């Protein structure tokens, strides 16, 4: 991973592992989302959640990652956030269809 984290959450789909949120070792909440491409054995930052969050859940439905629950700093933990899955085509990221 490009960022050390604990309390992160993730899901695997289409030969990739997606991990988001969590807390940095200094207890700072994170909002970044990373993807591990199993075929090339490499982590990439692919986006951010709308708020920092730890200990949530993530599911994949119709090509989108949905983040549910968890702990947020100063916000309602029941908010639903969505991050579109991205794939790399040449040098441009394209959403999955």
> What's the pLDDT tens digit per position in 47-67?
888 888 899 899 888 888 888
CB 93 within 8 A of CB 86: yes
Per the structure, how many domains does the chain have?
1
As a whole number of angstroms, the distance between CA 48 and CA 59 comes to 16
As a whole number of angstroms, the distance between CA 75 and CA 62 comes to 27
> Would residue 61 count as lying in a domain?
yes
As a whole number of angstroms, the distance between CA 17 and CA 72 comes to 23
Report the SS3 class of residue 24: coil
Question: How would residue 75 be classed by pLDDT, with cut points 50, 70 and 90?
Answer: low
> Would residue 1 count as lying in a domain?
no
As a whole number of angstroms, the distance between CA 44 and CA 68 comes to 22
- The pLDDT tens digits for 11-50 are 998 889 999 999 987 778 998 899 999 889 999 998 888 8
Single pTM value for the model: 0.72
> Would residue 81 count as lying in a domain?
yes
Report the SS3 class of residue 23: strand
Provide the residue range defining the domain that includes 25.
9-95
> Would residue 71 count as lying in a domain?
yes
């Amino acid at each position: 991973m490009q960022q050390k984290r604990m309390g992160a959450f993730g899901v695997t789909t289409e030969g990739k592992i997606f991990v988001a949120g969590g807390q940095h070792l200094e207890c700072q909440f994170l909002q970044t989302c990373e993807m591990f491409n199993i075929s090339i054995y490499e982590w990439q930052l692919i986006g951010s959640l709308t708020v920092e969050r730890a200990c949530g859940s993530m599911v994949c439905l119709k090509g989108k990652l949905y983040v549910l629950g968890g702990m947020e700093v100063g916000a309602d933990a029941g908010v639903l956030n969505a991050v579109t899955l991205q794939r790399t085509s040449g040098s441009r990221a394209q959403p999955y269809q």
